[in-house]
Structure 1
């Protein structure tokens, strides 16, 4: 983005903030038809907003020093917020891991392109944040400081990983390569379903899809009424309410191009607000745009620990919005309470 374009974008951002102070940065970026990274970069000055280096592993390995923070991962239809400490960080190969009881992440840093330290104004004051964006400028992950005692460590981290270039603006020069899938009619359905029947671990499912060059929604369509059941789009609401009422702990996965964020545990306070379906619990918030749910499925995968059942929801492009499992550890069978919930949902929400 050229300097005059960057200056003009920053002015339009400031004007919109004055007109509608409650608008989030993401909403403003959408209004102005730019990526969120371009918007944030337009105000980069090396003082208030600081561009960080692309040493993703180094940054993440130092996050524990911040103490309690809120981790946020979103896509167009879901926002997943989890409070905790970044412990047990490792970066090997194409993915990084954060494996803590509260902060549980899969970091696809090869798709990341930009990072900034950003103070965010809200009615309660200024929140210090670290914001990571993919190569197309979309938000991959955000971290908000919760513990005031972590301010000193935050500023030390920002100084340590400060980029030498603090000029405003960025150039989006790379696109994320989307996976190429085969048409459904070219798939050997018998071979695919046979391989599905022999799965040993849920983590083997995605590699199987890639071998067949098959999208997830096409895979579910092939397995319909055998391993996958299409259900009503109100099923997620019913599932969350049943899990809350019956005290069944669940796992909630929300992903985007560069991150998967996971909650494992109970869900208690379920609230609808307009189009948004929300979990509003201490330490965990989930916000789902119900009007963007295009298809919903109950899916079964065989494993060495028995059948594992998920509730999976997708947008109109076939992108995953969120996936839900019963809470479980490797080597342990699925919770009976979760099986009962999904069996009930399969009957009640079945589509013809």
Structure 2
């Protein structure tokens, strides 16, 4: 299907379903979202100078950033500042726009000039890794200048085929004693990923092989219970959601928690979170030791063992976990035993 035909098909679909999101429309049309965006006559392909582009986004003023996976959409509004990138790893470190970048996953970038001007970035499979939308407070002239500076010839989007993830190694092949000792020796939560990599573990396998008492399976109802309790108690939390190319973080309170169909939503000024609960499969309360005391999180996974969202109590290095957070998360209900027929 050529770009013109694809775009006409999209317009027909959109006319019958005006609220249909680009990601869902692409799936219905049998293409990736990157291919659909590339077919938009108003889209402009960007040179893949990701670090340079990200470093200039502060000039746009107040923007809305969106980072998502299949089951979680995380939206933050603020100024895109304090960007630092070393090699393929980077971050934007602000109270509002707080991001981690893994640029080895980024392949395509576009500027869209329609009703909601934006910059949109996609991975090698054509999935969106990160989007930046202009707001009424944004600097349109700075956006136009940035786009003209990084505009490239129109790219042909050729997504890589998806391959089945490598099979997990058998639990019996893992030096469980050494792994558990490594877990107990953690001094910082950021040491957990290197620990998993050292033992060649997936996240679900790491949780399965954790030291006794450090991981507890909880009910999926815990996601809603946690957000409602945090709102009622005015308890500041941290919400991490993302994908292989970008991780987006909210730190602070949540106020308005609303369920709509399969979606559980936080609808606050400056922070929106949309969780598609029918795609949640498991949830765990996870304890990790650090030099500042124990840190506890709620981690949620889909049926493929992919991490959807993580919650922590608001915390900065050098400060212990909030007692109110620890009480809340340890009080979440256990998962009921699954009956095997």
Q: How does the TM-score come out when normalised to structure 2?
A: 0.95
Q: What residue is the counterpart of 1:29 in the other structure?
A: 26
SS of the equivalent of 2:113 reads strand
Q: Distance in 2 between matches of 1:242 and 1:263?
A: 17
RMSD: 1.7
Displacement of 1:178 after TM fit?
A: 5.6
Following the alignment from structure 1 to structure 2, what is the Cα–Cα distance between the partners of residues 28 and 338? Answer: 39
CA positional deviation for 1:181:
4.0
Query: 2-side partners of 1:238 and 1:175: how far apart?
Result: 36
Q: Is the 8 A contact 1:135 1:175 kept in 2?
A: no
Distance in 2, matches of 1:119 and 1:181, equals 44
Query: Displacement of 1:41 after TM fit?
Result: 0.8
Separation of aligned partners in 2, 1:35 and 1:82: 25
* 1:32 CA displacement: 1.1
Cα 1:174–1:54 shift into 2, 3 Å: farther
Residue 123 of structure 1 is matched in structure 2 by: none
> Could you tell me how far apart the structure 2 residues matched to 1:176 and 1:68 are?
38
2:12 aligned partner: 15
Measured in 2, the distance between the counterparts of 1:173 and 1:254 equals 24
Residue number in structure 2 paired with 1:198: 185
1:106 maps to which residue? 100
Contact between 1:111 and 1:135, CA under 8 Å: does it hold in 2?
yes
Match of 1:140 among 118, 122, 129: 129
Please show how residues 315-330 of structure 1 align to structure 2 within 5 Å: 315-330=302-317
Secondary structure of the corresponding residue to residue 216 of structure 2? strand
Q: How far apart, CA to CA, are the structure 2 residues paired with 1:229 and 1:112?
A: 35
CA 92–174 in structure 1, closer or farther in 2 if over 3 Å, else same: farther
In structure 2, list runs of 5 or more residues that go unmatched.
Answer: none
Q: Is the 8 A contact 1:67 1:147 kept in 2?
A: no
Query: Is 2:189 aligned against 1:235?
Result: no
Quote the Cα distance in structure 1 between the aligned partners of 2:27 and 2:162.
Answer: 19
Q: 1:308 and 1:95 mapped to 2: Cα distance?
A: 25
1:70 to 64, 72, 84: 64
Give me the whole-angstrom Cα distance separating, in 2, the residues matched to 1:305 and 1:317. 33
When the two structures are superposed, what TM-score results if normalisation uses the length of structure 1? 0.92
The correspondence for 2:252, drawn from 248, 265, 268, is 265
Q: What CA deviation, in whole Å up to 9, does each residue of 1:202-253 have, x standing for no partner?
A: 0000110011111111111122752100011111110111111111100000
Deviations 1:127-178 (A, max 9, x none): 1111000111100000110135511111011001101x126x4222576996
Structure 1 stretches of at least 4 aligned residues deviating more than 6 Å after TM superposition:
174-177
Aligned partner of 2:3 in structure 1 is 6
Q: How far apart are the structure 1 equivalents of 2:326 and 2:137?
A: 42
